[in-house]
């Protein structure tokens, strides 16, 4: 009998060979699973992981949040709010800083977090991508805050080429103008989700727009 594990997971990233890095929201443990259609980085799902010959695969699942995560390393052309948030953190000698963002009409549309890189100690970008650094509390705060953004959202993890910090940009509207602009600016193609809502089933590997 194939051993299985049941739980709630967030897909954090996808490797070049299509494997999904999933983090259990029950105990925080990360596990790599075989490629599966209908699952993308950022998706949250309740499901069963089956272990065949030491390799995990998603045997059965129900997607409960279709938020998307995207990653880009070595980016340029940082927007002003991101730089201001980082400069404020440096001035205050703080490792983390945050600031809301607004559209042209003054309505909130997202939130920026900057995390100082720790050369020789931690690779913050790799930890966020790999799942050892938490993103769930940021999403919870984003949705429970004054603006009250509803899921699904889009989350961008960006490492600038010439600055000593990692940027996490939470965008309130999935598929909106702001999210599309960030994707175009930093080379983060949107994955195809056209059939996901109707068919959440296992499958073979797909292209990897989320990999950095």
Co-location of 57 and 72 in the same domain? no
CA distance to 46, 65, 70, 135, 154, per residue, from 24 (Å): 10, 14, 19, 12, 20
Question: What sign for the dihedral angle of Cα 210, 185, 123, 170?
Answer: negative
Co-location of 85 and 177 in the same domain? yes
Co-location of 76 and 36 in the same domain? no
Of the spans 53-62, 116-125, 152-161, which averages the highest pLDDT? 152-161
Global confidence as pTM: 0.89
Cα–Cα distance for residue pair 48/200, rounded to 1 Å: 13
Mean pLDDT of 54-75: 95
Q: Which domain holds residue 22?
A: 4-65
Co-location of 170 and 100 in the same domain? yes
Cα–Cα distance for residue pair 171/58, rounded to 1 Å: 28
Per-residue confidence (pLDDT) for residue 201, from 0 to 100: 35
Q: What is the pLDDT of residues 130-145, one digit of tens each?
A: 999 999 999 999 999 8
Q: Could you tell me the two tokens for 82?
A: 């991101």
* Residue 8 placed within a domain: yes
Cα–Cα distance for residue pair 40/17, rounded to 1 Å: 14
Q: What is the pLDDT of residues 15-34, one digit of tens each?
A: 999 999 999 999 999 999 99
Cα–Cα distance for residue pair 7/60, rounded to 1 Å: 11
Per-residue confidence (pLDDT) for residue 1, from 0 to 100: 54
pLDDT reading at 104 higher than 70: yes
pLDDT reading at 194 higher than 80: no
Place of tokens 């073979």: 204
Co-location of 55 and 108 in the same domain? no
Which comes out higher in pLDDT, residue 147 or 126? 126
Which comes out higher in pLDDT, residue 147 or 8? 8
Phi, psi of 181 (to 5 degrees): -65, -45
Q: Could you tell me the two tokens for 144?
A: 């429970």
105-119, 153-167, 191-205: least confidently modelled range = 191-205
Overall number of domains in the chain: 2
Instruction: Assign 197 a pLDDT band (cuts: 50, 70, 90).
Output: very low
Give 98-106's long-range contacts (Cβ < 8 A, gap of 24+): 100/147, 101/169, 103/178
Per-residue confidence (pLDDT) for residue 96, from 0 to 100: 95
95-104, 119-128, 148-157, 199-208: least confidently modelled range = 199-208
Question: How many helices and strands, by DSSP H and E, does the chain display?
Answer: 4, 10
* Residue 13 placed within a domain: yes
Cα–Cα distance for residue pair 199/123, rounded to 1 Å: 36
pLDDT reading at 89 higher than 70: yes
Mean pLDDT of 103-113: 96
Cα 108 versus chain centre, distance: 20
The last residue of one of the domains, among 65, 93, 114, is 65
Are 38 and 201 in contact by the 8 Å Cβ rule? The answer is yes
Which of 186, 190, 191 shows the shortest CA–CA distance to 206?
Answer: 191
Co-location of 75 and 173 in the same domain? yes
Mean pLDDT of 160-172: 96
* Residue 196 placed within a domain: no
Co-location of 99 and 59 in the same domain? no
Which of 38, 170, 151, 44 shows the shortest CA–CA distance to 99?
Answer: 170
């Amino acid at each position: 009998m194939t051993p299985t594990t049941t739980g709630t997971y967030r897909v954090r990233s996808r490797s070049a060979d299509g494997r999904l890095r999933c983090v259990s929201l029950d105990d925080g443990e990360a596990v790599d699973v075989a490629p599966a259609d209908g699952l993308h980085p950022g998706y949250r799902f309740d499901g069963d992981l089956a272990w065949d010959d030491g390799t995990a695969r998603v045997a059965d699942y129900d997607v409960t949040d279709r938020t998307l995560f995207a990653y880009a390393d070595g980016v340029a052309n940082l927007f002003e709010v991101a730089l201001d948030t980082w400069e404020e953190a440096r001035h205050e000698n703080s490792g983390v800083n945050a600031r809301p963002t607004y559209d042209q009409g003054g309505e909130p549309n997202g939130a920026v977090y900057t995390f100082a890189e720790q050369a020789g100690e931690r690779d913050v970008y790799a930890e966020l991508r790999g799942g050892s650094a938490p993103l769930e509390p940021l999403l919870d705060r984003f949705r429970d805050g004054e603006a009250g953004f509803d899921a699904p959202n889009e989350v961008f993890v960006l490492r600038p080429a010439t600055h000593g910090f990692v940027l996490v940009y939470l965008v309130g509207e999935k598929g909106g103008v702001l999210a599309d602009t960030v994707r175009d600016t930093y080379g983060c193609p949107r994955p195809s989700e056209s059939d996901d809502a109707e068919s959440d089933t296992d499958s073979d590997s797909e292209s990897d727009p989320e990999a950095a």
